[in-house]
Amino acid sequence: MESFYNLPSECLREIFSCLENEYSTLYNCLFVSRTWCRQVVSILWRNPFRHKTFRPSPFFKQNNNSYSLCTTYLSALNEEEKKILHPYDSRHNLPPPLFQYSSYLEKFSFENIEAIAESWIKHEEAFEIPHDECCNRIKLIMAAILQLFLRTSCPKDVRVSYGYRSYDILGGIPFSSYQPGFSRLINLAVGVTGFHPTPNLIELLKILPKLSTNLKGLEFVFDEDLYQEQSVIDLLIDIMTAQSNLKKISLEISSDFYSPTTKKFISALNCQKESLTSLSLYNVDFSSVSLNGIAECTLLESMEIYYCRGAKNHSCAKFLQSPIQLKSLAFDGNDFKDVTLIPAFVEKAGKTLVCLSIDNLSDETIKTLMKCCPNLTDFTLLCNDQELDAFLDYLKGSNISKLTVDSSEICDSTELLEVLGDYIPRNLEKINLFSSFSPDSFERFLSDYYKSTSKSLRTLCIKDVTGDNYPKYLKAIESHAVFGTTLKTVLISSTVEITEEISILLRNIKRLRINASFVEDF
């Protein structure tokens, strides 16, 4: 044990990083020594917004985490930032924090700041204040905290939203004289929806191509209405073209009609043809936009197409004949009239395809998988009401080692889960079940699996959209594990309160040498 205390700080940081989701454990480590405290604080505060619901957790003293988080950041404001809050309030004169927590910040979004500012206002005010005044106070707090972030931290992941209240936050930041701390950004998301751009947003978008030239991931979400705001579109394209080694691009259109904006963006993707490895497209109308424009992105390995329409086989012919070797494909919610398109994508990937996520499994697609994709090991089925007999037969004889079954979009997934245990492939090591299913069907799944010849399952992940049946699921796991199991890890994605009953069940399962725990998300 003495040798553990003497480990270099770099090693301690790596060890503590493995416990990032175990807040109670990390919180206890704060009090072991000063060395441990410094390492743990930096981990706890590099993404304090990760709990989207800001539910209570041990490393915040207040029950209301978002209020406590806002208070901590307000206490770190300098005199210039405090002036932003005048004249409405003087309660920002708080004692300085023990650490400069904002200096550890690696990830945040404008919505995050808005959430904690709104919580702080509601907590501090004894009576409800008028809506307009509340919005103004939230805006001022957001501006002060954002300026603190830009002064003290160099975040790696930032989401710049432009909508709801967040759109006006830039009015409190003098970008013309203050250089924001975005120079070390790795991932940037820009959302421009719902409002006409303000001069401050334009100023920020002008600065970003100069400050952030080494982005690895870039995400754009915008209204097609912005075809009237060509200056904004040009600035977004400038951000993309300024990058020297951009790996991942995501484009989401938030309205349902076509404009020249989409075509302009797709054409500009070629500027990253020497580096682009991942492309995600959401709600794109391909009736006038061709995927052939990215045929020169020969390093592309991953493609996701969600809620798109209008694509046809002939409009993708050049892309399908390109030397691009796709390792990962995802299709969900698309409206493709050409039923041969998805099988054509799967056939194009062929032997290089390792990961596939799909919501519409036609017989032709299954035949193509069997014929052309022997190395597919990671499969996600986004279930609808289609017949799955052919898929189950394919699944049983496949080499899939990681299976995700997401039936959360259908009313009753009981029938699928009841038969799934009979079709587990022999190499399956991990299964994710995302759905609303009955405890009896889960019991049936476990029973059928334990009777099968497949004994390779190591990890089971469960996410129940209702959150009502977790005690019964845990009881089923416990009862089957008593008779021996290959399971090593059970992860449950939920924000439900961990009751005494659940705690007892978790301890019982851990006694059977299965690491069972609740997590925020997988």
Q: Is residue 202 scored above 50 in pLDDT?
A: yes
Task: State the average pLDDT over residues 205-216.
Answer: 89
Helix, strand, coil tally for the chain in percent (to 5): 45, 15, 40
pLDDT cut 90: percent of the chain above it: 25
CB 313 within 8 A of CB 288: no
Q: Beta strands of 104-228 (E only): which ranges?
A: 107-109, 157-160, 187-192, 217-222
HSE on the CB side for 456, CA within 13 Å?
A: 14
Diameter of the chain by CA atoms? 72
**Please, what is the Cα angle at 86 between 81 and 91, to 5 degrees?**
85
Report residue 434 as tokens: 């995302």
- Answer yes or no: pTM beyond 0.75: yes
For residues 110 and 5, the model is more confident at 110
For residues 241 and 496, the model is more confident at 241
Report CA 310 to chain centroid distance, whole Å. Answer: 27
The tens digit of pLDDT for each residue in 479-504 reads 888 767 788 888 888 766 778 888 88
Per mean pLDDT, which range of 203-212, 340-349, 447-456, 508-517 is the poorest? 447-456
CB 352 within 8 A of CB 328: no
- Is residue 88 very low, low, confident or very high in pLDDT (cuts 50, 70, 90)? low
CA distance 7 to 323: 48
Mean pLDDT across the chain, nearest whole number? 82
Q: What is the pLDDT of residue 58?
A: 39
Task: State the average pLDDT over residues 400-414.
Answer: 78
Q: Is residue 188 scored above 80 in pLDDT?
A: yes
Report residue 227 as tokens: 């075809």
User: String of b and e for 364-392 (b: at least 16 CB within 10 Å)?
Assistant: ebbebbeebbeebbbbbbbbeeeebebbe
Q: What is the pLDDT of residue 55?
A: 38
